[in-house]
Structure 1
Amino acid sequence: MFNSKLSFNNKIFGLFLIILIFFSFQVQRGLSIGYIDMEYILDNIPEYRQASQMLEQKIQDWKGEIAIKQTEIDNLKEQLENERPLLTPELIEEKEDEIAYLQEQLLKYQEAKFGASGEFIVQKRQLIQPIEDQVFNAVQEIGRVRNYDFIFENSAEALMLFSAERHDISDRVLKMINRSARSERRDEKEKEKNPLDEMKDEPYKSVKDAKEDKAKEEEREKEISERERKRDSIREARKRIRDSIRNARQEAFEKRREEAQRRRDSIRKARENKK
């Protein structure tokens, strides 16, 4: 009896869920939605790949330094344990202080390289920021031209658990970035031309056409300014989040270091009292 009632309830719940999904689909089917895969875009930009390889080499060098320092500390600890029965309390304390100092220096080195405001985070941000700006501008343009309602980034922050590949516009973004790069190179070549030659090729414009062109140019500049404003606001919001995370980590690190120092001081005082 109980099992049949449970089975009936499960069927009702399943039917309700199907109906809910169906109506949600009907409501949202008119929306135009796309997403981008940031990792895919970055992996297909040669400049980013080259800079990433250089940064990866630095990371391996830093990890090598950390491993060397850690090995030195481990050797000193092992040596102290082997020699402890033969050493006076003063020598033991001196060696323990040396080990503690080296451990503290190692923590500082790790924090300087891989901490919240460390060299790795700073260089990674410098590496990815220009690409993010290009992607943002390309997404704005694609969304405007193709009338997208929403464009997401396929990342953990977006919580996109599934999306059909037909909604992936990453290749379009890449094409626009590459086209912009080619256009910039072409513009650089155009700047090298003689201004008088350019004036010869320029067709005659009536006053009305000139005014219309000027109005269009002002409208384009306004759109560019608006995109830059949106981009700056998003960048500022991301910076605030990163700063809050960095400050929290720094505070936690300082607390751990102070606690370690208090323990060392208490041990030293206890030894002095025994004397």
Structure 2
Amino acid sequence: MRNFFSTIVFSILIFNFAPANTVQAQKIGHLDSEYVLEQMPEYDEKIKELEELASTYDKEVRSLYGEVEKMRAALRADEVLLTAAMKADRQKAIEAKEQEALKRYTELFGNDGLYYKKVDELVKPLREKVSLAAEAVAKRHGLDYILDKASSIGIIYSNPTHDYTEFVMEELGLKIERN
């Protein structure tokens, strides 16, 4: 994405500083890929699958943290009866269980966790499908660039006449229902 943004900035700089007789106007359009994805029936299926997976993973992690809380409650209840060594052993067991819960949480929901790998596995093909449709639309309409309003670059203003979201949806055979 940074390369794409750099290319756009570079193109703008060339356009601004090149001699007038060597510059050709560039045609730029935009689309809202998140809106397009939300209109795809298979995207809804993937999102439901991800929600179920997240719920399963969340229950597993909550269960581990629940065990930690039970161990703490038991320690508080028995604290007056325990020797210092026994109390330290239980404290170490609690800390070990906390580390186990944190490790499992990271394995499931961390940046490189199982959940995000599954998101990539399920949604990436749909994003690629949208990208291919956007490329076809760009070629058909003679566009040099199509920017994505849903991406991290962010567009503060865009002229609606340059919005190619509906063309991309048409390319994908999706029903167009704009407000």
- TM-score range relative to shorter protein: 0.7 to 0.9
Q: Which has the larger radius of gyration?
A: 1
Partner of 2:38: 43
Alignment of 1:96 with 2:91, yes or no, is: yes
Q: Is the 8 A contact 2:72 2:94 kept in 1?
A: yes
Q: Which amino acid aligns with 2:153?
A: A
Partner of 1:76: 71
Q: Give me the whole-angstrom Cα distance separating, in 2, the residues matched to 1:162 and 1:63.
A: 39
1:152, distance to aligned residue in structure 2 (A): 0.4
- Deviation string 1:135-155 (CA, Å, 9 cap, x unpaired) is 221122211121113210113
Alignment of 1:34 with 2:29, yes or no, is: yes
Q: Which amino acid aligns with 2:69?
A: D
TM-score, with normalisation over the residues of structure 2?
0.76
How much is the aligned-residue C-alpha RMSD, in angstroms?
A: 2.1
Q: Give me the whole-angstrom Cα distance separating, in 2, the residues matched to 1:83 and 1:150.
A: 68
Structure with the higher helix share, 1 or 2: 1
Partner of 2:135: 140
- Deviation string 1:31-63 (CA, Å, 9 cap, x unpaired) is 432111111111111112112101101101211
Aligned residues: 152
Percentage of matched positions with identical amino acids:
22
Q: Give me the whole-angstrom Cα distance separating, in 2, the residues matched to 1:64 and 1:57.
A: 11
Q: How does 1:75-224 map to 2 (within 5 A)?
A: 75-178=70-173
Q: Give me the whole-angstrom Cα distance separating, in 2, the residues matched to 1:94 and 1:164.
A: 66
Q: Give me the whole-angstrom Cα distance separating, in 1, the residues matched to 2:134 and 2:37.
A: 15
TM-score, with normalisation over the residues of structure 1?
0.51
| Structure with more relative contact order (C-alpha pairs < 8 Å, separation 6 or more) | 2
1:156, distance to aligned residue in structure 2 (A): 4.7
Q: Give me the whole-angstrom Cα distance separating, in 1, the residues matched to 2:159 and 2:78.
A: 66
Which consecutive residues of structure 1, in runs of 5 or more, have no partner in the other structure? 1-23, 25-29, 180-275
